[in-house]
Every structure is written in C-alpha cells, then in structure tokens.
Chains A and B, each alone.
Chain A
Amino acid sequence: MRFVTGLYLVYLCIPIILLFVGAFGETWTNTLLPTGFTLEWFLELWDDGSFRRAFIVSLEVVTATCIFCTLLAVPLAYALYRSASKKIMAAARIVFLLPIAAPPLVLAFGFILVFTSDALPWLNSIWLLIAGHVVLTLPYLLQTLVADMRHLHLDTLEQAAESMGAGFFRQFFDVVVPLLRHSLGSGLIMVAALSIGEFQLSNLISGFLYRPYPVVLLQAFYGSTGFACAATVILLILALLASAGGALAARSASQYRTHRS
C-alpha cells in the first residue's frame, strides 16, 4: 500500500519537477533532461510585455472576482441558511452543482451567444471575464460558508444577540460576519486559486486586450521549451501560494472550531 502511494506521489510530482528543471535548463532538445543552468527564460518572460500584461490582468480578475464573490456569497449564504423553504434549499443545491452540471466550456458558449448580440456587445470586455469567473467560483464559496454557518449554530448566537437588543444589521455585522471570517478566508483563497488557473472560459470570452495569464501561457508552448516551463512555473507558484494560504486558513479555522466544541 505504501509502495503504491509512493508511486502515485512520484507520478503526481514528476511533471512539476520537470517543469522546474526545464525552467532553469539552458537547452532541452531530444534529451531526457535539459543541459546547463540559466535564468534567461525568466528574464525573457519579464521582458515580454504580453506576459506582464496578462499577469496584471489575471491579478485584476482574481481581485475583482474575490470582491464580487464576497459581496454576493455572504448575504446569499446567510439567506440560504436562514431559509426554511424546501424549494429554496433545492434551488441552492442546483446552484452548488452548477460547476459540475455546466462546465466552463458550456458557460463560455452561452456567454458567446448572449454577449455578441447588438443589444449586449460585451464579449471581450474584462467585466464579462470577471462575471464569468464569479459564476464559476461562487458556488464553491457559497458551499463553504453555508457549511460553516451550520457548524457554528449561528441561529442561537443571533437569538442571544437579539435578546440583548441587537437588530438585524447589528447581529449580521457584529456576530455573523466576524464568525465567518475563517471560512470566508479559506473560501476566497479557493476562489483565487480557481480563478488564477481558469483557462477554458477565459480562452473563449477574453478579448485580445484582457487575456489572463493561462490564456497567454498557451502561446509559450509554441516557442522554446525553457520559456514555456518558466511561464508555467510562475502560474504554478501563484497556485501553490493560493493553496498554501487556503490550507493555513482551513487549519486555523479548524483549531478555532476545536476550541469551541
């Protein structure tokens, strides 16, 4: 069992290790591993305006996606949690399953159909790209928040606040929002990680001016191997940072809950 697990880990890690090796290798043509050591590919990447711009677009899209997801998910999750209606809960389950039921490709085709019309000529705009990312990532954040609300027994805490004289907004901002900060943090990091790596939808709906990093990355693979590896390593580091942040936030949230119980 241990051997199989080890083998599986090697299988998972080899492509990543090879990317790092390739990014620092001077030449890599018809050999098992590259030869030489260079930082040239990273410098070239830095000098490439399209990559720099794509990197900035990605950061802008991720930031905006996180902001809109927060603004939508917190009240929506709260409304779902408070709702006793079976119909609303069924609708929520459908929303939760949306990323599986409607993969990015399907969503992109829908966007193309709707937003190339004269009435809504917004295809290629950064706002549509952000909207697409919000649609794709919102269910994940919603799920995290609703699960946390159930775990925290928010209803009793709200009743306690209400009995002390707190109105709805006071309860929401004094009790609900502060208590959700851990799950909101870990959920947003998941949103950021998903948004950073999103390719399918972005490739189809982003215009020339607002191509995010993964879309531009594809072009790197038509050039030299070292350059492609270096470009991918940057994306990988971003994703790893997001995952590590998510793991830390989740651990801190679980310690917080363990103390409570």
Chain B
Amino acid sequence: MSLTLENVNFTYPGTTSGVFDINLSIGDGELLAVIGSSGSGKTTLLKLIAGFETADRGRILLGSDDITQLPVRNRQLGVVFQTYALFPHMTAWQNVAYPLKIRKVPSETRERKAVEALERVGLQGFENRMPQTLSGGQQQRVALARALVFAPRALLLDEPLSALDASLRGSMRDEIQRLQREFSISTVHITHDQEEALSMADRVAVMEAGRLVQVATPRELYDHPATRSVAAFVGEANLWDGKTVAHDTVELPFGRLTTEPHGLSTGQPVTVLVRPENIGIGKATDGINALTGAVVRDRFLGAIRRFDLSVGPSLVLGQTGIRGPIDSINIRPEHVRLLPIQP
C-alpha cells in the first residue's frame, strides 16, 4: 500500500526543531531509505508516520486513508525499533504471536503463524528461546517476523542495523531486502548509514535540519547530488568552491578544470564535485585536467588505497587500486559535477 506525506509539519513543543514541509510519496512495495545526520529529523518523520507524534499541519495518507490523526494502534503499521523492543518476558514465538493475540486470532492458529514467520526469517528451532538468549542478529529477525506477521499495511524500520556488529550488517541488509521484496510491502527505512541506504533502497530521501533536501534513486543521488551537503553526506567527495570562467571551464583555488558544457553564465560561483574513484592516476593522454602534486596522506584499505594529493593550496582525495608512487592525476570532464554554492 502506498504511503504519502503531504506538506507535513511538526515542531517539538517549546523548541524550534521538528520537520517542515515534508512532501513524500512511497510507492506500493517500494523501499525508501531516509538518511541524514543526527538531529536532521529522520526519526521524527518515522514517529509521525507511526503515530507516536502527531503532525501540526499536513496529511499522512496510507493508500487513500488519511491516518494523520489515527491512533498508533489503529494504523496497522509494522515497526522495527532500533533496540528491537522485544518483550523480554516472552519467548521468540510469543513475541511474534503477540500482534495476532491482540487481533484475537485463535491460539492454535497464532502459534502456527508465529512459527511459520520465524521460519521465514530463518529462525526455525529458536521458537522457545527467550530474547535475551538470542544474538543481536537473531533478535532482529524476531523483531522483523513480529512486525510482518500481521500483514501490516506498511513497514517502518528505525535504524534496525545500527546495534549490530559490522560483520553482521551486510548479511542482515540482504535479509531485510529479501523479506521486503517477498512481502512486497511499502517500507520506510530510517538510517544514518548512507552505504546501507544506497545498497538497499529503491529511492533515498536525504534530510537536513528537518527538511527533505533530495529524494532520488541511489545512483542518481550519488552521481547527481542536489547540494554540497548531500554530496558530502553520500559517499566520499572532493568539494571545491570556485566560479565558472567559460561554458566548459571552472576556476578553482588550484587552477582551472575543464567540464562538460554546463550551461551556466560566466562568473557564477559554483561548488565542484569530483568523486575519489573518478580521479585518474597519471597524466591523461590528451592532457585535459592534468594535475601534479605530492601525496600527503596514504591509507591502505586492502583492495584499494585512498590518498590525499596536495595540489596547490588544495587537497585532492583519490582512490585507486594502484600501489605504486603517485605524483600526477587527471580528471575526465564528465566526472566534474557542478553544484550550486551553499551559504
């Protein structure tokens, strides 16, 4: 079922923080990740959708139903909390069966459905275990099974992977994505981990200071960030302030870079974005955007290395699999992105 937020505004009483002018639509069966730094309003957005907070203005629609004022218990939304919020006095299957118990499903049916739901998340044999005896990953699977067992109208995930070890996160990402696809359920996934958002979501919404800055597919967000802050938040980035000097040239503190025709007027201040993986090693055969400098910082990361090359007054962050010395680089014009300058 689709989920739509129309001009939603909310301010925490006695403060100026909250979320403002949120217009967002999540398609049926779509997984939308909401990312942003701490205090950007992403959790508030989830609370508004779940009903833990009520919007001051605007509407939240689930399908065609207006749920803005609907109590939490009547919204029929599956929520997975950051701390999983499993009931510690219930076994795994009792936790999963609880939403069915509330819906007065006969005890035999709910036990069968709970066990089936646990099997679907790969927890067969763990039905009678207490939550505190399960690992973080297993607890999260129980939380997922519990959120999905009553066929909710949409699924809300509040930083579900943040409490897991890094080694577990990768497999749990795949697991969540698999279940989301299997149940074909509209999902809002709140996270501060941009890698998690990019790898899992159909679309990603970036929040900043309570506002949506950009909503786009992961690829579009990475390649064409709307603002400097989005570019900085999503992936590694070289960001330099400069100005246009010709229809295909920008002037930066360390010199001029050739771009693809940008269509901007000459003299316009811009921020230039170049991703580290788009920094070529050595001089380009055509000599375009060739820069020389000295490596001032070199980080070996296994398959790749990341280096900071000092070019004039600026640092260029590059990424390569080449292990030899680096003293010159090049940037292809198509990899030079121009962003509006931010105050």
Q: Mark A167-184, 1 if CB is under 8 A from B, else 0.
A: 100100011001101000
Q: In the complex, which residue of chain B has the Cβ closest to the Cβ of A174?
A: B98
Cβ B88 vs Cβ A159 within 8 A? no
Chain B residues near A181: list those with CB within 8 A: 89
Shortest beta-carbon distance, A152 to chain B, in Å? 8
Shortest beta-carbon distance, B242 to chain A, in Å? 48
Cβ B99 vs Cβ A165 within 8 A? yes
Q: How many A-B residue pairs have CB under 8 A?
A: 63
Cβ B102 vs Cβ A160 within 8 A? no
Cβ B98 vs Cβ A164 within 8 A? yes
Cβ B72 vs Cβ A162 within 8 A? yes
User: Would you call B309 an interface residue if the criterion is a C-beta within 8 Å of the partner chain's C-beta atoms?
Assistant: no
Cβ B130 vs Cβ A259 within 8 A? yes
Cβ A160 vs Cβ B88 within 8 A? no
Cβ A165 vs Cβ B85 within 8 A? no
Stretch at the interface among B75-83, B173-181, B182-190, B268-276: B75-83
Chain B residues near A163: list those with CB within 8 A: 50-51, 72-73, 75, 77-79
Tell me which of B50, B73, B87, B88 contacts A165 (CB under 8 A). B73
SS class of chain A's interface: helix, strand, loop or mixed? helix
Give the size category of B's interface with A: 20 to 34
Q: Mark B42-57, 1 if CB is under 8 A from A, else 0.
A: 0000000011100000
Q: How far is the CA of A259 from the CA of B81 in the complex (A)?
A: 19
Q: In the complex, which residue of chain A has the Cβ closest to the Cβ of B72?
A: A162
Tell me how many residues of A have a C-beta within 8 Å of chain B.
22
Cβ B73 vs Cβ A166 within 8 A? yes
Chain B residues near A152: list those with CB within 8 A: 88
Per the 8 Å Cβ criterion, residues 120-161 of A in contact with B are: 152-153, 156-157, 159-161
Q: How far is the CA of A181 from the CA of B87 in the complex (A)?
A: 14
Known A163-B50, A165-B102; contact A178-B83, beta-carbon cutoff 8 A:
no
Shortest beta-carbon distance, B164 to chain A, in Å? 16
Cβ A178 vs Cβ B73 within 8 A? no
Q: In the complex, which residue of chain B has the Cβ closest to the Cβ of A157?
A: B85
User: Would you call A86 an interface residue if the criterion is a C-beta within 8 Å of the partner chain's C-beta atoms?
Assistant: no
Known A156-B83, A166-B102; contact A260-B73, beta-carbon cutoff 8 A:
no
Chain A residues near B50: list those with CB within 8 A: 159, 163
Q: List 24 A-B contacts (CB under 8 A).
A: A152-B88, A153-B83, A156-B81, A156-B85, A157-B87, A159-B72, A159-B79, A161-B87, A162-B73, A163-B50, A163-B72, A163-B79, A164-B73, A164-B146, A165-B102, A165-B150, A174-B98, A175-B87, A179-B89, A256-B132, A259-B130, A259-B133, A260-B88, A260-B132
